[in-house]
Amino acid sequence: MTSGPCIGIATMKPRCSIIIGSSSSLIYGFSPPKSNPSAFHNLSKSQAHMSIDRSGFQFCVYDKAQPVGYTCVLNRRGFSLSGSNRDQSWGFTRNFRGYKGRSRGVLVISNVASDFRNHSSSVEANVGEKGFERIYLQGGLNLNVEHLVIERIETGGEVVKEDNSGVQVDESGVNIGDLRGLNLNEKKVERELSKIEKDAWKLLRDAVVTYCGSPVGTVAANDPADKQPLNYDQVFIRDFVPSALAFLLNGEGEIVKNFLLHTLQLQSWEKTVDCYCPGQGLMPASFKVRTAPLDGSDEAFEEVLDPDFGESAIGRVAPVDSGLWWIILLRAYGKITGDYGLQERVDFQTGIRLILNLCLSDGFDMFPTLLVTDGSCMIDRRMGIHGHPLEIQALFYAALRCSREMLIVNDATKNLVAAVNNRLSALSFHMREYYWADLHKINEIYRYNTEEYSTDAINKFNIYPDQIPSWLVDWIPDEGGYFIGNLQPAHMDFRFFTLGNLWAIISSLGTQKQNEGILNLIEAKWDDLVAQMPLKICYPALEYEEWRIITGCDPKNTPWSYHNGGSWPTLLWQFTLACIKMGRLELAQKAVALAEKRVAVDQWPEYYDTRNGRFIGKQSRLFQTWTIAGFLTSKVLLENPEKASLLCWEEDYELLQTCVCALSKTGRRKCSRFAARSQIHSQL
């Protein structure tokens, strides 16, 4: 769905929004009737701290250096709720109460899609076939410790103080008291903070960006020597995730809440790239807080949040992953702080729905995977990952699992919830069946017949065996396997992409056996994937003609550099999470120890180059925030492995059953039921 006309508009167009506020509260839920905006113009700013935003969607007014009022946007979410499904329950009053209400059930909430907040380990009800029981009862982490307190004890007699929110912090701002908002009666873990960690906390805090006096995110890099920061001085959605987790795990929820709120509002921008409007649910890749004079005055100025939806980004890449990360972070915020009220708010529910609508809209697709352009995720330049790249699929799966937990079921959402469930089942089946590669599967591909025309084809995508790359033949270990990078008609991208494989583990996109297999492969191929700096973004690098054709001769993505086989320390936190989930703590410890030896000395580079990750990347930023935050998050998780359960998913038996039922109803019984069974049995 797009909003508003866009013919002839050549750049991103800020919406004219009404802004209202007070220093202590935000009020969302209605926007002025479009037909009569003048009613709002007529109010003076000082009267009601109300103003029309003509330069940006959100702003905050200052008088000289002093904020005259904390202002916020009344966005159109309350109004945009139209149609039979919403009007019965969500009028203005309800929106308003929905925001203000702290307790659940203020809105007309009939149910929550699935109460995953209290995981059940029971499987009998959902498992009909023996094969399922055998495979999915194989254990794995099932920790339900929701709220732990991390108490960090400083040695050396450092002073303990309180920050302005009442959290006990040490000199680097680390929470050494109780986690705010968390259940305080639970296990306490004591540990000593190393010098590197203290420095890292300080750097992370220095990277915090404020808007109207409140923290709202962290800049991508804070390198004082960088003369050309490009957009590294912005808050990137994906980059903020490890920062958010570090803060959350340290008991600091405010910055994350603010981030979620403000990015939610940016989602509603009417955006155009040349004459074209991308979908309404699109989340920006990044945003910047800009300062602008207010009404031409040099006495007062305003802060404006200025998002980039890809219209300024190098290559004009669409940030498909931003919305997925936003949903993942929203769920993590609820799980860690216990503040589920945020995700239950009308505006947040609408935000989730807009993102899902974009992802689930009908197209020409034959597959349940998301079809995207090149550069639509962490790899945001041309790297030959257009189509159905693993990273997007794994994040999509995780975001759908989050949505399944967070969506409130009512008449308005029941179809969406059903679509989410169906997509989850279909997606996991597709990925497990067709993306998985191990020695056995590669041997099968090696012997494929081609040009099979029938619904019973074994080689469904018409893969020609000659495309199995020579490096893979020797590289694939006897034990273990991985999800390949991409799958299209007659094309398999056999490169190993780390982020997608780690998220397959974290979200349980893979089966238990596949997830174990991925870690086995990383262990077996440690010298290639971890080497001297965890972890390679992908393996192997594109070289020679392939590099020329696929990257477009990109000098930043030369072989074994940056996205093309470079090593990215930020991947460490996801590796740590995956290892903890699979009970392989020692692997994560080894990787973190390796990083710890170098990252701080090297001034927290964005990435490393060379086959072994030996050199700091040739164009690498220093003091890269997600390197710092990823390291801190890994450390906290290693110290408190129980926390991992708040950020991971176990197998969902309901979804598996949906998949089997769907397959058996397709009329392709022979092929499909056999496929379902074979998928399961092959994992045993």
Q: How far is the CB of 294 from ligand GLC (least distance, A)?
A: 30
Q: How far is the CB of 236 from ligand GLC (least distance, A)?
A: 4
Residue 343's nearest CA partner among 414, 267, 396, 402 is: 402
Which CB atom, from 95 or from 564, has the smaller least distance to ligand GLC?
564
Q: How far is the CB of 443 from ligand GLC (least distance, A)?
A: 35
Q: Rounded distance, CA 635 to CA 137, Å?
A: 30
| Rg over CA atoms, the chain | 25
Q: Which of 255, 346, 358, 378 lies at the binding interface for ligand GLC (CB under 6 A)?
A: 378
The answer to whether 380 contacts ligand GLC (rule: CB under 6 A) is yes
Angle at 18 between CA 16 and CA 20, to 5 degrees: 150
Residue 184's nearest CA partner among 171, 170, 167 is: 167
User: Which of the residues 195 through 234 are near ligand GLC (CB under 6 A)?
Assistant: 220
Q: How far is the CB of 619 from ligand GLC (least distance, A)?
A: 10
Q: Rounded distance, CA 125 to CA 200, Å?
A: 47
Mask for 114-153, x = binds ligand GLC (CB under 6 A): ----------------------------------------
Which CB atom, from 240 or from 348, has the smaller least distance to ligand GLC?
240
Distances in Å between the Cα of 653 and the Cα atoms of 144, 415, 421 are: 18, 21, 12
Which CB atom, from 556 or from 673, has the smaller least distance to ligand GLC?
556
Q: Which of 136, 236, 259, 608 lies at the binding interface for ligand GLC (CB under 6 A)?
A: 236
Q: Cβ–Cβ contacts within 10 Å for residue 185, how many?
A: 8
Q: Rounded distance, CA 132 to CA 5, Å?
A: 51
Angle at 323 between CA 102 and CA 633, to 5 degrees: 75
Q: DSSP letter at 584?
A: -
Q: How far is the CB of 4 from ligand GLC (least distance, A)?
A: 29
The answer to whether 238 contacts ligand GLC (rule: CB under 6 A) is yes
The runs of H, that is alpha helices, within 162-273 are: 195-206, 237-249, 254-267
Which CB atom, from 380 or from 650, has the smaller least distance to ligand GLC?
380
Which CB atom, from 107 or from 241, has the smaller least distance to ligand GLC?
241
Q: How far is the CB of 472 from ligand GLC (least distance, A)?
A: 25
The answer to whether 70 contacts ligand GLC (rule: CB under 6 A) is no
Q: Which of 223, 239, 303, 516 lies at the binding interface for ligand GLC (CB under 6 A)?
A: 239
Contact 463/448 with Cβ under 8 angstroms? yes
SS3 74: strand
Which CB atom, from 239 or from 554, has the smaller least distance to ligand GLC?
239
Which CB atom, from 321 or from 642, has the smaller least distance to ligand GLC?
321
Q: How far is the CB of 314 from ligand GLC (least distance, A)?
A: 8
Contact 467/491 with Cβ under 8 angstroms? yes
Mask for 325-364, x = binds ligand GLC (CB under 6 A): ----------------------------------------
Q: How far is the CB of 380 from ligand GLC (least distance, A)?
A: 5
Which CB atom, from 236 or from 326, has the smaller least distance to ligand GLC?
236
The answer to whether 604 contacts ligand GLC (rule: CB under 6 A) is no
Q: How far is the CB of 600 from ligand GLC (least distance, A)?
A: 19
Distances in Å between the Cα of 68 and the Cα atoms of 51, 59, 302, 635 are: 12, 12, 10, 41
Residues in the chain: 684
Instruction: Compute CA 345 distance to the chain's CA centroid, rounded to the nearest angstrom.
Output: 20
Residue 485's nearest CA partner among 360, 613, 384 is: 384
Query: ω before 540 within 30° of 0 (cis)?
Result: yes
**Which residues, including other chains, have CB under 8 Å from residue 615's CB and lie 6 or more apart?**
608, 609
Which CB atom, from 154 or from 206, has the smaller least distance to ligand GLC?
206
SS3 116: coil
Q: How far is the CB of 106 from ligand GLC (least distance, A)?
A: 37
Question: Which of the stretches 75-83, 236-244, 276-284, 516-524 binds ligand GLC when contact is defined by CB under 6 A?
Answer: 236-244
Q: How many residues bind ligand GLC (CB under 6 A)?
A: 6
Contact 298/320 with Cβ under 8 angstroms? no
Contact 638/585 with Cβ under 8 angstroms? yes
Q: How far is the CB of 632 from ligand GLC (least distance, A)?
A: 16
Residue nearest to ligand GLC (CB): 220
* Site of interaction with ligand GLC (CB under 6 A): 220, 236, 238-239, 378, 380
